[in-house]
A and B are shown apart, each in its own frame.
Chain A
Amino acid sequence: AQSVTQPDIHITVSEGASLELRCNYSYGATPYLFWYVQSPGQGLQLLLKYFSGDTLVQGIKGFEAEFKRSQSSFNLRKPSVHWSDAAEYFCAVGPFSGGYNKLIFGAGTRLAVHP
């Protein structure tokens, strides 16, 4: 069955430090992969997506992610974290048969940023 695993429930980093959030997926075909961010009281915002081609994708807010088929991973990175990056981050995979684009999300990683 299709699934997404985010091994880290909470991560704390210092402002200015680099960040890597892990995501592993289980999917029977070439996946579409996504990272979303959710701030308190806000809806989910798409950070970046991977469909095909270059395995290193750039997103908004200085984030990037790398697709590694051999490891079934799609880790999110940022070279220098800002205090405003504190939020919850979700990795997701789709679409599925029928092409309805429903997404399967991981449980999320909550990021705290120390000044």
Chain B
Amino acid sequence: DTGVSQDPRHKITKRGQNVTFRCDPISEHNRLYWYRQTLGQGPEFLTYFQNEAQLEKSRLLSDRFSAERPKGSFSTLEIQRTEQGDSAMYLCASSTSGLAGGHSYNEQFFGPGTRLTVL
């Protein structure tokens, strides 16, 4: 178990450019989440995958954002035509599914995040 990894750790881009981030979850985890964390705030839910299916998207995820998990393993988050308001830390988390100790919650393990700065 090497934990959740994210790449790159930092990205600086100019407004209007496209960026793509990658998340590699813990290998046996079938659930994957993306969150966004702006300065001085807690993480906000963006989207969720179970295996390769994207099952929920927050209204925070505008049309410029797209996420994929093509083979149910790693995931990518792409932002098109970046804006300065997109500057944030993008966090990925993964978990198993099903019951754990009689409860439906399964601990989400977070990666270190990708910090995006849009100039």
Residues of A near any B CB (own CB < 8 A): 4, 9, 32, 36, 41-46, 49, 51-52, 90, 92, 94-95, 98-108
Contact = CB atoms under 8 A, between A and B. Distances in A.
A43, A46, A92, A108 pick with most chain B CB within 10 angstroms: A43
Contact of B103 (A32, A42, A106): A32
A32 B105 contact: yes
B47 to A, nearest CB: 9
A4 B42 CA distance: 10
A103 B45 contact: yes
Given A43-B113, A106-B42, 19 more contacts: A32-B103, A32-B105, A43-B3, A43-B110, A46-B108, A51-B103, A52-B103, A90-B42, A94-B105, A98-B55, A101-B104, A102-B56, A103-B45, A103-B108, A105-B43, A105-B44, A107-B40, A107-B42, A108-B41
Q: What is the predominant secondary structure among interface residues of chain A facing chain B?
A: loop
Contacts of B25: none
Contact of A107 (B41, B93, B104): B41
Interface string B99-116: 000011111111111000
Interface size bracket, B side: 20 to 34
B75 interface: no
Contacts of B111: 43
A98 B91 contact: no
Contacts of B45: 102-104
A45 B44 CA distance: 16
B42 A92 contact: yes
B67 to A, nearest CB: 14
B33 to A, nearest CB: 7
B51 to A, nearest CB: 13
Nearest to A9: B40
Nearest to A99: B104
Contacts of B44: 105
Contacts of B56: 98, 100, 102
Interface string B25-47: 00000010100000011111100
B57 to A, nearest CB: 11
Given A43-B113, A102-B33, A102-B45, A51 B40 contact: no
